[in-house]
A and B are shown apart, each in its own frame.
Chain A
């Protein structure tokens, strides 16, 4: 099995602040992390490798400062890691992002599986996995868990409205992995030392990918942001209800009835 895992490095959402005057997102001082669902995607690829052999390559688009996160993925067990880094890639929407990732996957060559997390914690559009599948012209199993290989086909359990379905696909296929589908492994300590010091990370820029500057980043995006707004927190009473459990229950019952 040759697997590729698309990984996003995202800011920790809890630390994001909004500048009400400039109407921009304050990113200074905000820590980054590997997007949680992408860790589930990596784990899914690594556990398939354990059963069926093969290789796992991680691909991420972002600035050089994302390097340590790719090395972290290698120390978790990825065989190779590629950073797609170019100033021209900046400020991309999902159209331009998926185009760059798909182009890199094509450059890597033949593959059996492309894994993505189902969504990013910051943008949460859920669009990139299906878009990559479309650029590559391969089938897709989105929002999946319990991913297995059976008779050289992929079988996954796909979460849908009100339940799930079991879906089978020919290879090659793109799989987007459900957030929390598995428990991502910790980095291996000895491997980490190697990943940090000796592992040679591949970095590709726009020329390496043979892409036109008009097709990537802000220029290659098909949506634009007109303005940013923060949603004001709703005004809440914040009234503490006190007393014995019986008294509290009585008061809450009144609130519940009044809210009908």
Chain B
């Protein structure tokens, strides 16, 4: 098997004009971001369609052990660069070593998961390389007559999508919104080529330093099947919504104003300034349903909304609407769910 794949790799060396898609694999403290593998899955699909290849690029201090998983998840070639100066993500250091690789291999496309790190890296690289960059796409296609990448870029609170393409530069770039594409099941029969690359950095290349990091790995809202979303109508009292989230085996999200009050971390925000849910079920509590929120629940299969105001916009976005006081209803609902689960 490995021989076959090696031959394929040699074939690529002969034909350097074959479509090569670069995918940035983001890792923090040895954990690969889910979105990176989602993008890798989509890149594989595009490459198979075009008869091209997928190259995953990974940086860090000690990341060789992660390369096998990346190869099994869809990459033909995994390039990894190691340096103590790459231990923590900083845009300047990562963009510098990444730029060198891109200039060397001249890929046709670069896809990056739209995390905060990914978005900053992509925007910096676009300027360094003189390249177009499509932001946080929710779909990627190939334009049939030109073979160019078409990205669907949401804007104006998520209600309007512009289909964009890169018009200048040698490489087409896009960041990809988390939770949109599916990861491929890692295939043990798939053996990509793994190659260490130079990461030429000097301490003076790095003017930023990460002093401290605090990360709690919880399931990202975009990938959660069942979500309870709390809004201002919960009046800062989140114990009942949290209990309900546990009862349905889901997690808690919030509308933007609640996160702004500092009650919950910002990565729990649902809407255009946070996550878009892809859940089967969302129970929306005390949320008014303004435009920037509505895009966050657009793709939810079933929406239940509870709100005291019968004219609330949220009822236009819900399948099951309850006009009432959530503090009266929730205790009965959690009791009902807890008794029936016994």
- What is A's interface to B at a CB cutoff of 8 Å? 13-14, 16, 18, 25, 93-95, 98, 119, 121-131, 133-135, 138-143, 155, 158-170, 173, 178-180, 221-231, 233-234, 236-242, 245-246, 248-253, 255-257, 259-260
Query: In the complex, A128 Cα to B332 Cα: how many Å?
Result: 49
- Give the number of A-B contacts (CB < 8 Å): 285
Q: In the assembly, what is the distance between CA of A179 and CA of B116, in Å?
A: 13
Q: Is B132 an interface residue (CB 8 A)?
A: yes
Q: A125-B135, A241-B321, A245-B332 are in contact. Are A161 and B33 (CB under 8 A)?
A: yes
Chief secondary structure at chain A's binding surface: mixed
Chain B residues whose C-beta falls within 8 Å of the C-beta of A245 in the assembled complex: 324, 328-329, 332
- Taking CB atoms, residues of chain B closer than 8 Å to A127 are 119, 122-123, 126, 133, 135
The 5 closest A-B pairs by CB, nearest first: A249-B332, A125-B135, A222-B132, A130-B123, A163-B215
Q: Does B311 contact A (CB under 8 A)?
A: no
Kindly state whether residue B217 has any CB partner on chain A within 8 Å: yes
Are B333 and A249 in contact, with the CB atoms below 8 A? yes
- Interchain Cβ contacts under 8 Å between A and B, 16 examples: A13-B156, A98-B127, A124-B135, A127-B126, A160-B28, A161-B117, A161-B215, A231-B158, A231-B295, A234-B299, A241-B320, A248-B332, A252-B304, A252-B329, A253-B340, A259-B226
Interface of B is mostly: mixed
Contact with A along B126-142 (1 / 0, CB 8 A): 11101111111000000
Task: With A95-B132, A249-B336 as known contacts, state yes or no: A168 contacts B124, CB within 8 Å.
Answer: no
- B161 near A228 with CB under 8 A, answer yes
Q: Which residues of A contact B115 (CB under 8 A)?
A: 160-161
Binds A, one of B47-55, B166-174, B231-239: B166-174
Contacts of A139 in B (CB 8 A): 90-92, 207-208
Distance between Cα atoms of A222 and B298 in the complex (Å): 30
Closest B residue by C-beta to A135: B127
A161-B115, A228-B160 known; A168-B211 Cβ under 8 A:
yes
Contact A164–B315 (Cβ < 8 Å): no
Q: Mark B151-194, 1 if CB is under 8 A from A, else 0.
A: 01111111111111111110000000000000000000000000
Question: Given that A95-B132, A159-B116 are known contacts, is A18 also in contact with B159, CB under 8 Å in the complex?
Answer: yes
Contacts of B162 in A (CB 8 A): 225-229
* Beta-carbon contact of B267 and A162 below 8 Å: yes
What is the bound-complex CA distance between A133 and B126, given in angstroms?
12
- Measured CB to CB, the residues of B under 8 A from A are 28, 33, 88, 90-92, 95, 115-117, 119-124, 126-128, 130-136, 143, 150, 152-169, 207-218, 220, 226, 248, 256, 259-260, 265-267, 272-273, 280-281, 283, 290-292, 294-295, 298-299, 301-304, 315-324, 328-329, 332-333, 335-337, 340
Nearest chain B CB to A212 CB, angstrom units: 14
Question: In the complex where A123-B155, A124-B154, A126-B135 touch, is A180 in contact with B260 (Cβ < 8 A)?
Answer: yes
List chain B residues, Cβ under 8 A from A256: 248, 281, 283, 304, 337
- Contact indicator B166/A239 (Cβ below 8 Å): no
Give chain B residues whose Cβ lies under 8 Å from the Cβ of A141: 208
- Cβ of B322: which chain A residues have Cβ within 8 Å of it? 240-241, 248, 252
Residues in A neighbouring B28, C-beta threshold 8 A: 160-161
Q: Looking at the assembled complex, report how far the CB atom of A31 sits from the nearest CB atom of chain B, in whole angstroms.
A: 14
**B195, chain A: closest CB distance, angstroms:** 27
- Residue among B156, B220, B298 making CB contact with A234, cutoff 8 Å: B298
Closest to B261 in A: A180
B163 near A169: Cβ-Cβ < 8 Å? no
Report whether A163 and B127 are in contact in the complex, using a CB–CB cutoff of 8 Å: no
| Residues of A with C-beta under 8 A to B280 | 259-260
A236–B303 CB distance below 8 A: yes
CB B209 to nearest CB in A, in angstroms, measures 5
Q: Please tell me which one of the listed residues A231, A241, A250 contacts residue B159 in the complex, with CB atoms under 8 A apart.
A: A231
With A140-B91, A252-B304, A253-B340 already in contact, the answer to whether A134 and B128 are too (CB < 8 A) is: yes
Q: How far is the CB of B126 from chain A (nearest CB, A)?
A: 7
* B210 in contact with A165 (CB, 8 Å): yes
A165 to B115, CA, bound (A): 14
